Amino acid sequence: MVIRPRIKGFICASAHPIGCQANVREQIEYVTSSGRISGSAKRVLVIGASTGYGLASRITAAFGCGAKTIGVFYERPASGNRTASAGWYNSTAFQDSADEAGLYSKNINGDAFSDAVKKAAIRLIEADLGSVDLVVYSLASPRRLHPDTGALHSSSLKPIGKPLTQTGIDTDREVVKQFTLEPATQKEIDDTVAVMGGDDWERWIRALSAAGVLADDCKTTAYTYIGENVTREIYWNGTIGAAKKDLDRTVETLRREGFDATVSVLKAVVTQSSAAIPAMPLYLALLFSTMKREGSHEGCIQQIYRLFRECLFNDRPRRDSEERNRVDEREVSPVIQNQVEELWPQVTTENLKVISDFIGFQTEFLKLFGFGIKTVDYDADVDAETQINCLINLV
């Protein structure tokens, strides 16, 4: 079949297997050309391993550290005229590349919030690895079925305390407009923390520890975003921020119990989640144009490679006063943020593609789903059905 992008808002309902493969291999090439990371992990579990920062973490662990990896994700295969999800194609491509390189790699497809997936991961580690020395928690999900209560929690992208009006982009119509978001209820805040906070990460670490599959020197990290003034009200001071602050609470709890746990602060990049926040596409478009001019722009793979080399496996890791790993320092530098804040009120629908890198934002968004890659022939007939080797499917 010939596969085209089917986009509405921040949702793309199709994905391209050859494009996703090209995207994964481009990231692998970046890591292999950047050099081996010394003193790093050798047996790695990545929870949320199929897209974005989680995928970049697995690529960096495997091809930058030479690690054996187990990836946990929740993706769908192709069915009839519907393509597989981008994460399914990414995982197919990663596994194929790992097989070609002779690297151990196995996969679990299922709800990472569930006890069943945790037990499956433990059994696999026991059988194949004995233990893991790095656990990356990079789960991104809009909802969570709680394993104890059976309650379904859905996350919200809302401010807290008062309504918020901000300039943003209607990405379908490419129009700059004002968006007003009503404040979250306490239930919406609590639900967002339940989905995106630290509870499930903590459950993973406790389950792995109780099973005896964490190496004595095992590190674990979860990913967060803080940002600066332009994004602070909708992000750090909003419902998502409440969840991310809960990750800090989780770190304190895990450290008190003797675990080597950290939160790692990463820069803003294009993801389905970030595209859903009204102000973020405009912020990203301005950030990209500013950072590209300064020569400091990075995507997921560059960020994660630096995180591993400069923070996770470095005798002098870059950390802030809260002991978080920081590789967002280029984004939040005063030089970059002052330029973004200066440009923000100047953007109109008419000058959007001149004053910002909105085209770059669109390109990165398409790339998430395997589209817009120059080396791929999108007029060619392709097989949408792919198989992930070494897969335990619990869906």
Handedness of CA 51, 57, 58, 62 (dihedral sign): positive
Both structure tokens of 20: 């996703």
Measured CA distances, 57 to 48, 65, 134 (Å)? 10, 11, 11
DSSP secondary structure letter of residue 127: I
Both structure tokens of 368: 């998430």
Closest of 126, 21, 145 to residue 70, by C-alpha: 126
Question: Using CB atoms within 10 A of its CB, is residue 5 exposed (0-12), middle (13-18) or buried (19+)?
Answer: middle
Question: 328 near 265, Cβ under 8 Å?
Answer: yes
Both structure tokens of 150: 């059976």
Greatest alpha-carbon pair distance for the chain in Å reads: 60
The neighbouring-strand residues paired with 46 are 71, 136
- Per-residue burial over 27-48, b = 16 or more CB atoms within 10 Å of its CB, e = otherwise: bbebbeebeebeebbebbbbbb
Question: 388 near 109, Cβ under 8 Å?
Answer: yes
Question: Residue holding tokens 């022939």?
Answer: 377
Active site residue 235: yes
DSSP E strands in 225-318: the ranges are 260-265
Catalytic residue among 137, 223, 235, 283: 235
Question: Residue holding tokens 């990231």?
Answer: 27
Q: Which helix (H) or strand (E) holds 123?
A: helix 115-124
Question: 382 near 16, Cβ under 8 Å?
Answer: yes
Q: Would you tell me the crossing angle of helices 186-196 and 239-256 to the nearest 10 degrees?
A: 50
Catalytic machinery residues: 235
